Structure 1
Amino acid sequence: MTAVTPVRYPDLRSEKLMTRRAWWLVVLNVLIPGSAQVLAGNRRLGRFALGTDLVFWAIGILLIAGLLVARSTVVTIVTNPIVLWIVVAALVFYAVLWIVCTLDTLRLVRFVRVNRVAGSIAALFSIAALVITGGGALYGAWNAGVTAGVVGTVFGDGDIADPVDGRYNILLLGGDAGADRVGLRPDSISLVSIDAATGQTTIIGIPRNLENVPFPKTSPMAEQFPDGWSCADCLINALYTYGEEHPDLYPKAKSQGSSPGIEATSDGVEAVTGLTVQYYAMIDMNGFSQLIDALGGIDIDVKTRLPIGGGQDYDGNPTGVKKWIEVGPQHMDGNTALWYARSRHADDDYHRMARQREVQQALLKQFTPANVLTKFQAVAQAGGNIVETDIPQPMLGKFVDLADLSRKQKITDLELVPPQVETWDPDYDEIHQMVADVTKVASASPSPNG
Structure 2
Amino acid sequence: MNLMIKKLLIIVLAFIGVYMAYFTLQTADFYKTIYKNKNGNGTPIVKNKTEYNILLLGFGGIDDNGKVHEGPYLTDSLMIAHIDIKKNTVTLVSLPRDIWVKLPTKTKEVFHSKINSVYQIALNSTNYPAVDIRKPGTADLLAKAVQTITGLPIDNYVAVDFAGFEKAIDSLGGVDVDVQKTFDDYEYPLADKEKELCGKEAEFEQVKKFMEPGFNEEEKKKLFSEKPELEKFFKDITEEPKDAFPCRYEHLHFDKGMTHMDGATALKYVRSRHSLQDGTDFGRGARQQQFVKALKNKLISVGIVTRVFSLMNEVKTHVETDVSIDQMKKFLSEAADAAKYRFIGIHMSDSDYLRSSFSDYGGYILIPRMGEDNWKEVHSVISNAILEITPTPSPMPTRKATPSPQKKK
Normalising by the residue count of structure 2, what TM-score does the alignment of the two structures yield? 0.64
Note closer, same or farther for the CA distance 1:210–1:440 as it changes in structure 2 (3 Å cut).
Answer: same
Identity %: 24
Query: What is the deviation of 1:310?
Result: 5.9
Note closer, same or farther for the CA distance 1:163–1:277 as it changes in structure 2 (3 Å cut).
Answer: farther
CA distance in 2, matches of 1:313, 1:284: 25
The equivalent residue for 1:83 is none
The equivalent residue for 1:6 is none
1:171 touches 1:281 (CA, 8 Å); kept in 2? yes
The equivalent residue for 1:434 is 381
Query: What is the deviation of 1:285?
Result: 1.8
Among candidates 269, 278, 286, match of residue 340 of structure 1: 269
Aligned pairs for 1:268-279 within 5 A: 268-279=145-156
The equivalent residue for 2:159 is 282
Question: Secondary structure of 1:351's match?
Answer: helix
Question: Secondary structure of 1:177's match?
Answer: coil
Note closer, same or farther for the CA distance 1:208–1:162 as it changes in structure 2 (3 Å cut).
Answer: farther
CA distance in 2, matches of 1:320, 1:396: 39
The equivalent residue for 2:59 is 175
The equivalent residue for 1:418 is 350
**Counterpart residue type for residue 178 of structure 2:** D
**Counterpart residue type for residue 269 of structure 2:** Y
Note closer, same or farther for the CA distance 1:363–1:314 as it changes in structure 2 (3 Å cut).
Answer: same
Query: What is the deviation of 1:164?
Result: 11
1:228-285 deviations in whole A, cap 9, x for unaligned?
x44xxx211222233233267677636xxxx24x221111101111111111111112
State the aligned residue count: 308
**Counterpart residue type for residue 342 of structure 1:** R
**Counterpart residue type for residue 239 of structure 1:** V
The equivalent residue for 2:183 is 305
Among candidates 119, 124, 147, match of residue 240 of structure 1: 119
1:99-138 deviations in whole A, cap 9, x for unaligned?
xxxxxxxxxxxxxxxxxxxxxxxxxxxxxxxxxxxxxx6x
**Counterpart residue type for residue 74 of structure 2:** R
Aligned pairs for 1:31-50 within 5 A: 32-33=6-7
Aligned pairs for 1:26-425 within 5 A: 32-33=6-7, 56=13, 90-91=17-18, 142=22, 144-155=24-35, 158-162=42-46, 167-178=51-62, 179-180=67-68, 184-211=73-100, 213-214=101-102, 221=104, 223-224=106-107, 227=110, 229-230=111-112, 234-246=113-125, 253=135, 259-260=137-138, 262-302=139-179, 303-307=181-185, 313-314=242-243, 321=250, 324-346=253-275, 347-368=279-300, 370-423=302-355, 424-425=366-367
**Counterpart residue type for residue 362 of structure 1:** A
The equivalent residue for 2:217 is none
- Which has the larger displacement, 160-169 or 312-321? 312-321
CA distance in 2, matches of 1:283, 1:379: 13
Query: What is the deviation of 1:368?
Result: 2.7
1:198 touches 1:402 (CA, 8 Å); kept in 2? no
Question: Secondary structure of 2:354's match?
Answer: coil
The structure whose Rg is larger is: 1
CA distance in 1, matches of 2:119, 2:386: 26
2:43 touches 2:324 (CA, 8 Å); kept in 1? yes
Query: What is the deviation of 1:327?
Result: 2.1
1:170 touches 1:278 (CA, 8 Å); kept in 2? yes
Normalising by the residue count of structure 1, what TM-score does the alignment of the two structures yield? 0.59
1:171 touches 1:277 (CA, 8 Å); kept in 2? yes
- Which has the larger displacement, 307-316 or 157-166? 307-316
1:165-205 deviations in whole A, cap 9, x for unaligned?
95211111111113557973322211111124233111111
Query: What is the deviation of 1:304?
Result: 2.6
Question: Secondary structure of 1:281's match?
Answer: strand
CA distance in 1, matches of 2:72, 2:42: 20
1:170 touches 1:277 (CA, 8 Å); kept in 2? yes
CA distance in 1, matches of 2:6, 2:288: 52
**Counterpart residue type for residue 149 of structure 1:** D
Larger relative contact order, structure 1 or 2 (CA cutoff 8 Å, min sep 6): 2
Query: What is the deviation of 1:435?
Result: 1.0
The equivalent residue for 1:119 is none
Question: Secondary structure of 1:159's match?
Answer: coil
CA distance in 2, matches of 1:162, 1:330: 41
1:344 touches 1:352 (CA, 8 Å); kept in 2? yes
Note closer, same or farther for the CA distance 1:415–1:223 as it changes in structure 2 (3 Å cut).
Answer: farther
2:105 touches 2:132 (CA, 8 Å); kept in 1? no
Q: Which runs of 5+ in 2 are unaligned?
A: 190-240, 356-365, 390-409
Query: What is the deviation of 1:436?
Result: 0.9
CA distance in 2, matches of 1:362, 1:429: 32
Q: Which runs of 5+ in 1 are unaligned?
A: 1-23, 35-49, 61-86, 92-136, 216-220, 443-450
1:161 touches 1:278 (CA, 8 Å); kept in 2? no
The equivalent residue for 2:362 is none
**Counterpart residue type for residue 333 of structure 1:** D
